[in-house]
Amino acid sequence: MERGKILQYSQNDGCGCVLSNNNQFAFTIRDWRGESAPALNRIVNVEFREGALVSVAEVPESVLLQEKAAEAGEVAKKTWR
């Protein structure tokens, strides 16, 4: 699984585009794994099988906040050395 970011999503047609590893991939609402609708700039986990995108899953805000806090802690440790 890789991280990505939703670049575009249309609720009207249920199609969107996600950016992962500097590549854009189309997805549909059938590929979406989340409690809320896909949203522009949302950080997601993307899963590929044999080079094809098979799912786009929302990353909970709590997970993103924990990751940012851990990154900040590492930066602080390096700064105070």
**Amino acid, single-letter form, for residue 52:** A
Question: Using one digit for the tens of pLDDT, what is the confidence trace for 2-11?
Answer: 999 999 999 9
Domains and CATH numbers, the chain: 2-79 (2.40.50.140)
Question: Using one digit for the tens of pLDDT, what is the confidence trace for 31-79?
Answer: 999 988 999 999 999 999 998 999 999 999 888 888 888 888 787 777 7
Count Cβ neighbours within 10 Å for each residue of 8-39 and write b for 16 or more, e otherwise. Answer: ebeeeeebbebbbeeeebebeeebbeeeeebe
Looking at residue 77, its pLDDT comes to 77
Looking at residue 64, its pLDDT comes to 86
Question: Using one digit for the tens of pLDDT, what is the confidence trace for 16-28?
Answer: 999 999 999 999 9
Looking at residue 72, its pLDDT comes to 83
